[in-house]
Chains A and B, each alone.
Chain A
Amino acid sequence: MIGHKVIQFLLTLLILALQLIIMPFTGGASLSFNLLLSVAIIFSLKESRYESIIWASILGGLTDLLLFQHIGFYGISFVLLSYILGFISHKMVISGYIPFFFVSLCSFILVFFSAILLMTLLEGKVELSLLLPPFILGLIITPISTVIIDFFYDRAEKILVKK
């Protein structure tokens, strides 16, 4: 079990480092290349509800730190997403690349719009027309990145837990 948590921690660190590396290259499309969201989706579907909510809050806070000056927009969205995914995965089994793809697609939409809604409500200065390209890009990138990360997470778990 300790090995499992270490894998989660290492994965998070790795993805955070990767996100930091790619951020300068993404420019205005930072919202689309959100690898931390992919990690949060994987944890919410694979781990316990309680654990996944804590991870989601950490990852959401990190996303806020990386993307915004105000901490809480993505934090709240990630926690909400994690709760919903945990609730769904508690009722049914979601397994395989295709279900992961669609779940992450829906998750991105949920997180994106909940964050936008919060920003609009609290700051009231969101220009939706500017957010359309990142949104479309995110719809493509997030499911793909989720499937890839899940693949590596599975592999790493199998290798390390066996040892």
Chain B
Amino acid sequence: MKSFFSLKKPEGLAFFLIFIYAIALGFQVKRGEHTLLGNLALSAFLPFINGAEISIKTFKDGFNAYIWQKDNALKYEELLKENLILKGELDTLKSIEEENRKLKQLLNSPSVEGYRLVVARSIVIYGTPFTRSLLLSLEGYQSVSQKSPVIDTTGVIGRLEEVVANKGRVLLINDPASAIGVKNLRSGVNGVAIGDGKNLQVKYITNDSDVIEEDIFVTSGLDDIFPPNLEVGKAISVSDGGDYMKKIMLSPSASVDKVDYVLILEKVR
């Protein structure tokens, strides 16, 4: 079977020439901004062009979103680290602030004539049920002598028993081995406060002495260790004893069970 579209045939030649002229017209005649062939080519390739554009745009958007997400993740990690560091710094600042507050409180302590104040940080309170001692850090205070009184802002804590290797051991006032000369602030009655492991017991006060509950006892200064008028404790129970002596129990004014900073009274020579 012979082909219809052969240039050797009149039909084929006519078709070919008409086709060539049609193409030529397509290149010449304009419809809008483009020629007819241009429009035809655009219509034919527009889906592909649009598809490619959409693909590229989608890829770009996805890539940008990925980068943005990655950046955000990195920033988030950095912020987390920063947050941790800041929290750490805040904790440190809080502890410093607390320390500062306590030191400020110590600055409000009453000055005692003939003594200079030495600030020391407590390390630990230790002891058996009947003995109470406090270990102090004495870094930078080589000249602190033994038997020095130790107080805080609220009252007497004890006395320095020994100093070894920048550490000082304080015998707390509620230790059974501790004895302080005390005086009733209201009536001026003198006695000796001895520790019982938790509180203090005032001895050598006769039954006819004027002592009642809630009376404040301060140091009398007669023991040559503590200067006078430092608050020791408050009478929590007062009763007559069978040996003509009153049985008076004192609650220590200073919080001897929870000590952070103390003042050591160093005698000025």
A→B interface (CB under 8 Å)? 49-50, 53-54, 57, 60-61, 69-73, 75-76, 79-80, 82-83, 86-87, 118, 122-123
A80 to B36, Cβ gap below 8 A? Answer: no
B20 to chain A, nearest CB (A): 8
Cβ-neighbour of B17 out of A49, A57, A86, A122 (below 8 A): A57
B24 to A72, Cβ gap below 8 A? Answer: yes
B29 to A83, Cβ gap below 8 A? Answer: no
In the complex the two chains form, what is the Cα distance from A113 to B216 in whole Å? 133
A75 to B21, Cβ gap below 8 A? Answer: yes
In the complex the two chains form, what is the Cα distance from A122 to B36 in whole Å? 8
Cβ-neighbour of B29 out of A50, A53, A75, A122 (below 8 A): A122
Q: Which one of B8-16, B179-187, B199-207 is at the interface?
A: B8-16
Residues in A whose Cβ lies below 8 Å from that of B14: 53, 79-80, 82-83
Q: List 9 tightest A-B contacts by C-beta distance, closest first.
A: A72-B25, A49-B10, A75-B21, A72-B21, A83-B14, A57-B17, A70-B28, A122-B29, A76-B21
A50 to B13, Cβ gap below 8 A? Answer: yes
In the complex the two chains form, what is the Cα distance from A72 to B13 in whole Å? 16
Q: Considering only CB atoms, which chain B residue lies closest to A83 in the complex?
A: B14
B208 to chain A, nearest CB (A): 136
Given A54-B13, A79-B18; 17 other pairs, CB 8 A cutoff: A50-B8, A53-B10, A53-B13, A54-B17, A57-B21, A60-B21, A61-B21, A69-B28, A70-B29, A71-B24, A72-B22, A72-B24, A76-B25, A79-B21, A80-B14, A87-B10, A122-B25
A50 to B10, Cβ gap below 8 A? Answer: yes
A86 to B36, Cβ gap below 8 A? Answer: no
Interface majority SS (helix, strand, loop, mixed), chain A:
helix
Question: How many residues does chain B have at the interface if contact means C-beta atoms less than 8 Å apart?
Answer: 16
A71 to B10, Cβ gap below 8 A? Answer: no
A159 to chain B, nearest CB (A): 30
A53-B10, A80-B14, A122-B36 known; A71-B29 Cβ under 8 A = no
A80 to B18, Cβ gap below 8 A? Answer: yes
Render B208-243 as a binary contact track against A, CB cut-off 8 A, 1 for contact: 000000000000000000000000000000000000
Residues in B whose Cβ lies below 8 Å from that of A86: 10
Residues in A whose Cβ lies below 8 Å from that of B28: 69-72
A88 to chain B, nearest CB (A): 12
A50-B10, A123-B29 known; A71-B21 Cβ under 8 A = yes
A107 to chain B, nearest CB (A): 15
B13 to A71, Cβ gap below 8 A? Answer: no
Residues in B whose Cβ lies below 8 Å from that of A79: 14, 17-18, 21
B18 to A73, Cβ gap below 8 A? Answer: no
Q: Considering only CB atoms, which chain B residue lies closest to A75 in the complex?
A: B21
B127 to chain A, nearest CB (A): 113
Residues in A whose Cβ lies below 8 Å from that of B11: 83
Residues in B whose Cβ lies below 8 Å from that of A57: 17, 21
In the complex the two chains form, what is the Cα distance from A69 to B29 in whole Å? 10
Q: Considering only CB atoms, which chain A residue lies closest to B36 in the complex?
A: A122
